[in-house]
């Protein structure tokens, strides 16, 4: 999961002792829900995470990505036949 705040940080803010696990399931659910809500509302990912993006280039030197900023690129593939579904990667 990719959250905006950790369970430990949340419990500290709420003054809940780390050893008290009674509300952990609910707090984790709420942390996840709020993170998704915020990212949906602002239409941008705020938590760094890996993802795959397919682009249909038009021969230009620049490509606009859906998410930014980009911190690193693990791999880049060119498939002129647009046959992305055959597990060539």
DSSP state of 72: -
| Spans of all domains in the chain | 7-42
- Pick the more confident residue, 87 or 21: 21
Burial of 1 (0-12, 13-18, 19+ CB in 10 A): exposed
Written as six digits, the tokens of 46 are 């705020």
pLDDT in tens, 21-63: 999 999 999 999 999 999 899 888 888 788 788 877 777 788 8
């Amino acid at each position: 999961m990719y959250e905006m705040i950790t369970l430990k940080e949340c419990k500290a803010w709420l003054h809940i002792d780390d050893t008290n696990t009674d509300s952990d399931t609910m707090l984790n659910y709420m942390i996840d829900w709020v993170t998704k809500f915020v990212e949906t509302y602002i239409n941008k990912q705020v938590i760094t995470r890996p993802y795959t993006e397919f682009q249909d280039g038009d021969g230009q030197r620049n490509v606009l990505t859906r998410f930014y900023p980009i911190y690193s690129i693990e791999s880049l593939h060119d498939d002129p036949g647009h046959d992305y579904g055959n597990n060539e990667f």
